[in-house]
Chains A and B, each alone.
Chain A
Amino acid sequence: MAWNLSSERPIYAQIIEKIQQDIISGNYAPGDRLPSVRDLASEAAVNPNTMQKALTELERTGLVFAQRTSGRYITEDIIMIQKMKEEIASAHIKEFLDKMAQLGFKKQEIIDLITQLEKSDKEENE
């Protein structure tokens, strides 16, 4: 199954996000070996050169490291993974806040709205 990639954004950036997502969600555990560039490219239905570029970038950030002969591995640095998770969460929250600001909501109103939503969700479940 090809990866679900948007056609409007650079492919390699989306590959990076997808692999980060797979690390966060536990699809790849710390220390896991990544499939080969070819296999990943084939799975994602993208050009191997693009996959290579994305992996090189992941290597640069330290999230993935290469071992000369045996391939690429996910970092074992759990703190780094946690940090990335928080960075991505912050980005999502910032985007959300921007959208809410466009709708004219102030911070406190947003918090109230979230609390209210949570309450009604709970009631529904009970």
Chain B
Amino acid sequence: MNAIEMRHVEKDYGQFQIKDLNLCLPSGYIMGLIGENGAGKSTTIKMILDLVRKDHGEIRVFGEKTEDSLASSKEEIGIVLDESQFPEGITVEQVNKIMKNIYKKWDEEEFYRLTDFFSLPRKKKRFKEFSRGMQRKLSIAVAMSHNAKLLILDEPTSGLDPVVRDEILDLFNDFTRDENHSILISSHIVGDLEKLCDYIAFIQKGRLIICGEKDQMLEAYGILKCSEEELEELDQQAVAGIRDYGYGVEALVEKSRIPEGYQTEVPTLEDIIIFLSKKERRGMK
């Protein structure tokens, strides 16, 4: 069973639309949602969580339509939203007492293990006195303390220093050791997603540009450095993006579509995303 399925999902805000979004997160895997600001990542997450109504299409979580049973499904979804989410006067201890009475499978021991791991004070400090990083850590601790099978994380490592980010990514990795556990994570920090994710979905202007296994993507694409003339000789369908750097061009190419003999460099995930998002393509859209 897939953790999340989105089929032909659309949402129209007038000047911005999500068009024909098809996305599938298999159970036991981690999918990264990447896109520039305003691309539709948060809207996609909100539609899954029913914070925003889709206009068309179907969304299923754990095989069930979100309209039918999302309240019960949410028992198994751990959520970190992109904004602050707790009242300012609340302490960690009080968060535990509140969540214990909201989630049936709340694990107090695990919650305090995580808050101690994150060095969050239990009683003396209130939420408004937490730094942004501490607030984020508390959200993550709550999301991972009720035996969730699916984590939906909107910019969870935003505002965290690299050391803590690395520790949190390890936590997320451990989470998916259980083959029934999945993660959908949205982030601007492509390096984090490259370390963590099995699948990548790249959204731009409300459209899904590419969605697939990360390793296959990295294998399929290469960076070709050549002259403009050499580039024009290639099958233009193989060219996914171009960057002109003065004395030549860099192009992201599908290796299977270019003739043998061309030397390509191994791209990073960030390279692929940047090239795909570039609007300038010679005579092509």
Answer whether A and B are interacting partners. no
User: Interface on B for A, CB 8 Å cutoff?
Assistant: none
User: Interface on A for B, CB 8 Å cutoff?
Assistant: none
